Structure 1
Amino acid sequence: MEFKTTLEIKPSEEKIHPHFKVVSIGSCFADHIGHRFEEMKTDILSNPFGIIYNPISQMRLINLCLDNQPLNPEHIVENQDIYNHLDAHSMFGKKKLEELQKGIQEASDSLKDYLEHSKVLILTFGTSWVFRYEKTKEIVANCHKLPSQNFSKELLSIEDITSEVISTLKKLKEVNPAIRVILTVSPVRHIKEGIPENMLSKSILRVAVDHIEKALPDISYFPAYELIMDDLRDYRFFGEDMIHPNLMARNYIWQKFRETYFSDALFTYCDKWQSIKNDLNHRVMNPGSIEHVQFLESLLKKLEKFSVIGNVNAEKEYVQKELEDARSQ
């Protein structure tokens, strides 16, 4: 007897390979996916402007970076002696305006480079609820705790999302014809607006994504939202806040993502990196011994070989220092 409905996902014909550049933009679930790729030492840019929940703000960032245009200077705000930008996450907040502008420019340059050269773009839409800045009448990504009278709240329509995303992705394909897009709807529950409002928001996102997938080539939908809401479907898969999927749920979704998009070569790559990680975490019983020196020399050779694809510079420096210390004992 089955006590759950398991969501079977058809493996993608277009796989992700070890040498691919990948960029991930969107909600905190995009951060999670990006972190998993970073742990694998693959070449990924994850949320360069921080967590961005709504698709309109995500598309604005992509468009501005592709056009080599700056973010709207009128969206720079000061609150409690901290400068922030309404189109970026509060992680950019600085006491000096020049430092905020420098951070924004660096993020813009990075995103432009990855959009032009990546093989895969992962977009995660979090909510259809948005805030419009009264001063410019533009939708913004973050209110940065400014007084509410500075903003008006509204719900995006399916057409709002589909038209903006389709036009942006068409422009992206003109710049980078080789890029493929994976769309997801974040499984994180935005219940601050209310549970019915969250369900309405997610429904709009899901229908919009379906329209986008049908309208453009090289687009695929990964059902992260459905995996949480219909496959796992239990509060034991959420954290204490009952909003964010817990580690068990995130691991389950990641495993499904791997099964859907990873090539055989990427699975092999992951196995090799896991073996190296095990060596890096190896507990030394006899520091400075011949066996210890030989172990570190072997590990350094593995890292040198692996560095052809994976970014393991920090690990190489660490092992090199450990090796020098071991030889000096």
Structure 2
Amino acid sequence: MTNPYRSQPDHCFWSRAVVAAPPGQLDPMVGSPFRITPDMKVATLGSCFAQNIARHLQRSGLNYFVPETAPDGLSSDEAAARNYGVFSARYGNVYTVRQALQLFDRAFGALQPKEDVWARGEVFVDPFRPLIEPEGFASPQHVRDAATTHLAYVRRVFSEADVLVFTLGLTEGWRSREDGVVFATAPGVAGGVFDPERHERVNFTAREVSDDLQAFCDRIAGINRDARILLTVSPVPLIATHRAEQHILSATTYSKAVLRVAAEEIAQANPHVSYFPSFEIITSAHSRGSYFEADLRSVREVGIAHVMRVFSRHFLINEDAPAGSVPPPCATVPTEADVVCDEEVIERALRASGFSS
């Protein structure tokens, strides 16, 4: 019999494609699904790791699309603290696919959450982006007015972007028992009060995530038929799990496995959707753990640089083009500041209450 593996290329073999790859040179992509030209509007959405791609896009001189820009007179530090330019709009971190789906539905008037304002001491916050105003809002109406303005920009992001980079982060979340909406954080962490009669934890299944992701991609295609969607999975582990019956390592493994399966299923089923393996580059045995900081969560700059080299090789028309050759439309995108990670509010809230993790 003829060995069916005899004709397979090198990238199909672990010894040739992974073991033999020089340090920092592992490239898990086979071919380039499309190229990003300087005239394309590129938008970002998702977990905190997506911010690294946003920064790279700006440095590469591409058209990073940020319609929701900071007001005049706001310093770059103040703008970043208020989430201007961190993503294409001020939605904060969108960790679960269900959050992205409901963001679309809210932006286009198909969903009006029953619980749309949380109190935080004497101020008020938006349950779907509770950290975008560090000092909070003065009244519930201010929260609702700001949300209305914000969602108009979200419509532009989804309607006008030529490429939408969506980084999948988590499967765990907290949702309302009343209408099923998923909040950005657990009630009581960054605002609001947890009420077991009104709120519940959720850990989405592989089928639910795949169905949600397909629905999200269908909605984008329905209002922006030529848009390309580039899916990635964040390599950053969960900071905490709400599942007391499961170890954080197992909870993280489940979450990332589900997201990776969903990304693969949807990319295979939709010609306008592609997958980029940032997760594999950072977590691969090839890196021998060298791409994580001492906390084993934060990704080191050397790892991010590796991810962006592969991204440039496969998606940018001319990766050697000088930065700034095409002026970015928003000057407030942070280039060196720390990544803004809403999930870290969990531990900050615990420390503030005297709990030592």
In the alignment, does 2:86 pair up with 1:86? no
Tell me how far apart the structure 1 counterparts of residues 226 and 161 of structure 2 sit (CA, whole Å): 8
In the alignment, which residue of structure 2 is the partner of 1:318?
none
Tell me how far apart the structure 2 counterparts of residues 263 and 235 of structure 1 sit (CA, whole Å): 31
18-27 or 133-142, larger mean C-alpha shift: 133-142
User: What 5-or-longer segments of structure 1 have no aligned partner?
Assistant: 274-305, 316-329
Cα–Cα, structure 1 residues 199 and 313, in superposed 2: closer, same or farther, change >3 Å? closer
Cα–Cα, structure 1 residues 139 and 314, in superposed 2: closer, same or farther, change >3 Å? closer
In the alignment, which residue of structure 2 is the partner of 1:310?
327
Cα–Cα, structure 1 residues 312 and 226, in superposed 2: closer, same or farther, change >3 Å? closer
* Aligned-residue CA RMSD (Å): 2.6
Cα–Cα, structure 1 residues 80 and 160, in superposed 2: closer, same or farther, change >3 Å? same
Q: Deviations over 1:286-315 (max 9, x none)?
A: xxxxxxxxxxxxxxxxxxxx5xx4237979
Tell me how far apart the structure 2 counterparts of residues 205 and 98 of structure 1 sit (CA, whole Å): 36
In the alignment, which residue of structure 1 is the partner of 2:240?
192
Q: Which has more helix, going by share of residues?
A: 1
* Preserved contact between residue 124 and residue 185 of structure 1 (Cα < 8 Å): yes
Cα–Cα, structure 1 residues 33 and 313, in superposed 2: closer, same or farther, change >3 Å? closer
Tell me how far apart the structure 1 counterparts of residues 240 and 323 of structure 2 sit (CA, whole Å): 43
Cα–Cα, structure 1 residues 312 and 180, in superposed 2: closer, same or farther, change >3 Å? closer
Tell me how far apart the structure 2 counterparts of residues 37 and 21 of structure 1 sit (CA, whole Å): 11
Cα–Cα, structure 1 residues 70 and 191, in superposed 2: closer, same or farther, change >3 Å? closer
Tell me how far apart the structure 1 counterparts of residues 95 and 40 of structure 2 sit (CA, whole Å): 25
In the alignment, does 2:93 pair up with 1:51? yes
7-16 or 91-100, larger mean C-alpha shift: 91-100
In the alignment, which residue of structure 1 is the partner of 2:162?
119
Q: SS at 1:74's partner residue?
A: coil
Which is higher, the Rg of structure 1 or of structure 2?
Answer: 1
In the alignment, does 2:182 pair up with 1:139? yes
The one-letter code matched in structure 2 to 1:174 is: G
In the alignment, does 2:53 pair up with 1:33? yes
Tell me how far apart the structure 2 counterparts of residues 83 and 38 of structure 1 sit (CA, whole Å): 33
Deviation at 1:44, TM superposition (A): 2.0
Q: Deviations over 1:92-113 (max 9, x none)?
A: 4323334333332232111211
In the alignment, which residue of structure 2 is the partner of 1:303?
none
- The TM-score with structure 1 as length reference comes to 0.76
Tell me how far apart the structure 2 counterparts of residues 313 and 220 of structure 1 sit (CA, whole Å): 26
Deviation at 1:115, TM superposition (A): 1.4
Q: How does 1:122-201 map to 2 (within 5 A)?
A: 122-143=165-186, 145=189, 146-150=192-196, 151-193=199-241, 194-201=248-255
Cα–Cα, structure 1 residues 272 and 30, in superposed 2: closer, same or farther, change >3 Å? closer
In the alignment, does 2:153 pair up with 1:110? yes
Deviation at 1:207, TM superposition (A): 0.9
* Preserved contact between residue 129 and residue 154 of structure 1 (Cα < 8 Å): yes
In the alignment, which residue of structure 2 is the partner of 1:211?
265
The one-letter code matched in structure 1 to 2:322 is: D
Q: SS at 1:168's partner residue?
A: helix
Tell me how far apart the structure 2 counterparts of residues 254 and 86 of structure 1 sit (CA, whole Å): 33
* Preserved contact between residue 52 and residue 89 of structure 1 (Cα < 8 Å): no
Tell me how far apart the structure 2 counterparts of residues 179 and 59 of structure 1 sit (CA, whole Å): 16
Q: Deviations over 1:54-99 (max 9, x none)?
A: 110011112322x245752523111212312222241143233343
Tell me how far apart the structure 2 counterparts of residues 119 and 128 of structure 1 sit (CA, whole Å): 27
Q: Deviations over 1:105-130 (max 9, x none)?
A: 23211121121111101111101112
Cα–Cα, structure 1 residues 169 and 248, in superposed 2: closer, same or farther, change >3 Å? same
Q: SS at 2:295's partner residue?
A: coil
Number of equivalenced pairs: 277
Aligned sequence identity (%):
18
* Preserved contact between residue 113 and residue 179 of structure 2 (Cα < 8 Å): no
* Preserved contact between residue 65 and residue 329 of structure 2 (Cα < 8 Å): no
Which structure has the higher relative contact order (CA within 8 Å, separation 6+)? 2
Deviation at 1:37, TM superposition (A): 2.1
Cα–Cα, structure 1 residues 71 and 33, in superposed 2: closer, same or farther, change >3 Å? farther
Q: Deviations over 1:10-55 (max 9, x none)?
A: 2324100111111111000112212222344523232520111111
In the alignment, which residue of structure 1 is the partner of 2:322?
271
* Preserved contact between residue 63 and residue 168 of structure 1 (Cα < 8 Å): no
